[in-house]
Amino acid sequence: MTDKNTMIQFRNCRLLHDGLVEKHQLWIRGGKIIDPEPVFYMEKVKPSLVVDCNDALIVPGFIDLQINGGYGYDFSSEPDRLAEALQVVSKGLLRTGVTSYCPTIVTSPPHIYKQVLPQLGKKAGGVHGATVLGAHVEGPFINPEKKGAHPAEHMLTFAEGPSVLERVYGSLDNITLLTLAPELPGTLEAVAALHDRGIVVSVGHSNGNLEQGEAAVQAGASFITHLFNAMLPFHHRDPGLVGLLTSKLLPKPVFYGIISDGIHTHPAALRIAHRTHPHGLVLVTDAMAALGLGEGAHNIGQLAVEVRDRRAFLPGTATLAGSIATMDECIRRFIKAAGVSVVEAITAATLHPAQLLSITDCKGSLNPGTDADFLMLSDSGDTLGNIDILRTYIAGECVYEKTGVLPLKITPVT
């Protein structure tokens, strides 16, 4: 751990910046990325440390907006163990390249929300684990006909008005992202109220048609939860929520989540979505308790889950119940399945989620002034997706290093 005023120069590296990979240097001080030119010309100081990066690719830290748990812990089912769950998952995510995330709470009874949400406030990351950006609440205002791994008995509508939000959740203070079905009674008024509170609203787990989706976006929604999954399939006479990707009635294009784990979304569907609206694509894992553990019996929220052949199912059914994929795995699969570049894939896990949450001033890029949350990767230099996480940094501090990786040469400047 270096002093907060220590200036560090990372050289002999390639940086992902403004959609390009360029041979450049990265400068940090006080946990932030800085522009070195004013330092030289105005402060007339040199870096305290110089780090030789061995030609590593440096990219922003990944941001996961939908993760239900991992490493044996579920965020929705055991409020008494939530602090432990956050500690274990936040730490485990560092090796996958995730430096910021939204713990996701699936449809639950009100007493669970009132115990869980107060524990999910924003928390800065560090050697203890990834930054918590606030909760993603997925339900209970979703359609039972598209429930997926959500218990239908706890689902609600907004028929009594937006006041039901406080009654169900207790407080909205720690909610960053909220998924709802746009076709439910009273939804548009609720969307407007949530938008006014600064909460990002997503449409999903829905039987809604395109017109209902457009109305929700016009009211303030800006995201689609795991596109193609738990919604009406695309039809040429009613494209459903998928049609939002090309709607001409919206004030601005929406963002949409994609689970690129090789299971939830066919490679052709990945290509269709990306080629239709590349700048809105946000990679999410939708990972659950089995992340990092493998096959066997687990749970997601109030429901049991069985993992077999890399797939998480509700027992005795073919209903998928989240994934066990890591973000770096999703990026590699996306590159190979959709034929996109490393830059495009990483941008979908960094800049795009930061844009959705309006946090580009501090996350999602390597721009001067942003938090020094970044990764050192080895890569093949092509589109084959052969990326490997060597080191993870949060606020300029190395918080994860792959076992056996070639050590960095760090030179003090006198």
Q: What is the per-residue pLDDT across 161-213, written as a single tens digit (0 to 9) for each? A: 999 999 999 999 999 999 999 999 999 999 999 999 999 999 999 999 999 99
Using a 10 angstrom Cβ sphere, with 0-12 exposed, 13-18 middle and 19 or more buried, the burial of residue 215 is middle
Which residue among 64, 74, 286, 373 is the active-site one? 286
Q: Looking at the structure, do residues 143 and 287 belong to the same domain, yes or no?
A: yes
Q: Looking at the structure, do residues 321 and 183 belong to the same domain, yes or no?
A: yes
320 is in an annotated binding site: yes
Kindly state whether residue 344 falls inside one of the protein's structural domains.
yes
What residues pair up with 410 in beta bridges, in sequence order?
A: 51
Q: Looking at the structure, do residues 204 and 285 belong to the same domain, yes or no?
A: yes
Kindly state whether residue 380 falls inside one of the protein's structural domains.
yes
Tokens representing residue 257 in the block: 């989540």
Q: Looking at the structure, do residues 144 and 188 belong to the same domain, yes or no?
A: yes
DSSP code per residue over 212-273: HHHHHHHHT--EESSTTSSBPPPBTTB-GGGGGGG-SSSSSPPEEEEE-SSSSS-HHHHHHH
| Predicted local confidence at residue 379, as pLDDT | 85
17 is in an annotated binding site: no
Rounded Cα distance, 366 and 90, in Å: 22
Output the average pLDDT for the chain: 91
Least Cα distance to 69 among 43, 57, 87, 48 occurs for 87
Tell me: pLDDT of 382 over 80.
Answer: no
- Residue 286 known to be catalytic: yes
Q: Looking at the structure, do residues 56 and 72 belong to the same domain, yes or no?
A: no
Q: Are the C-beta atoms of 31 and 352 separated by less than 8 Å?
A: no
How does pLDDT run across 110-134, given as a tens digit for each residue?
999 999 999 999 999 999 999 999 9
Least Cα distance to 27 among 8, 54, 51, 50 occurs for 8
308 is in an annotated binding site: no
Of the candidates 340, 357, 374, which is a domain's last residue? Answer: 357
Q: Looking at the structure, do residues 172 and 248 belong to the same domain, yes or no?
A: yes
Rounded Cα distance, 270 and 334, in Å: 8
352 is in an annotated binding site: no
268 is in an annotated binding site: no
Q: Looking at the structure, do residues 211 and 185 belong to the same domain, yes or no?
A: yes
375 is in an annotated binding site: no
Q: Looking at the structure, do residues 307 and 171 belong to the same domain, yes or no?
A: yes
Q: Give me the CATH number covering residue 192.
A: 3.20.20.140
Query: Domain tally for the chain?
Result: 2
Kindly state whether residue 52 falls inside one of the protein's structural domains.
yes
Tokens representing residue 200 in the block: 């990002």
Q: Looking at the structure, do residues 201 and 315 belong to the same domain, yes or no?
A: yes
Residue-number span of the structural domain to which 34 is assigned: 7-60+366-412
**H or E element at residue 384:** none
